[in-house]
Amino acid sequence: DAGVTQSPTHLIKTRGQQVTLRCSPKSGHDTVSWYQQALGQGPQFIFQYYEEEERQRGNFPDRFSGHQFPNYSSELNVNALLLGDSALYLCASSSGGAYYYSNQPQHFGDGTRLSIL
């Protein structure tokens, strides 16, 4: 049973560029969340997708956008990259769907390390 998979594992971009990160949820999961983890910090919630719509959003600018596909996989897009966007981007999946219980454990992928030069 495959867990959460993310691609690519590492990525190097320059300021002003755009990037797309990808995530496949754990089998049986229908909800995908994205987190940004800066070096030495705890992860910060970016947004969550369910039924191909953004259900919840953290305190991130509109440069951060996402998408969820019918097979529940998801993409995170970041436009106009800044040096401060350098971080580990984590994808997490969970089940429960419309009945979004706050005690649902989320399963995390190993992340995409994004470096901005």
Partner 1 sequence: AQSVTQLDSHVSVSEGTPVLLRCNYSSSYSPSLFWYVQHPNKGLQLLLKYTSAATLVKGINGFEAEFKKSETSFHLTKPSAHMSDAAEYFCVVSDERQAGTALIFGKGTTLSVSS
Q: How far is the CB of 60 from partner 1 (least distance, A)?
A: 12
Residue 18's φ and ψ, nearest 5 degrees, are: -120, 150
Q: How far is the CB of 102 from partner 1 (least distance, A)?
A: 4
Q: Which residues form the interface with partner 1 (CB under 8 A)?
A: 4, 31, 33, 35, 41-45, 48, 50, 55-56, 58, 90, 92, 94, 96, 100-111
From the list 42, 26, 23, the residue with the least C-alpha distance to 34 is 23
Instruction: State which residue, 40 or 70, has the beta carbon closest to partner 1.
Output: 40
Instruction: State which residue, 20 or 88, has the beta carbon closest to partner 1.
Output: 88
Q: How far is the CB of 16 from partner 1 (least distance, A)?
A: 28
Q: How far is the CB of 22 from partner 1 (least distance, A)?
A: 15
Instruction: State which residue, 33 or 85, has the beta carbon closest to partner 1.
Output: 33
CA distance 113 to 28: 26
The token pair that represents 100 in the structure block = 């979004």
Residue 88's φ and ψ, nearest 5 degrees, are: -95, 125
Instruction: State which residue, 50 or 78, has the beta carbon closest to partner 1.
Output: 50
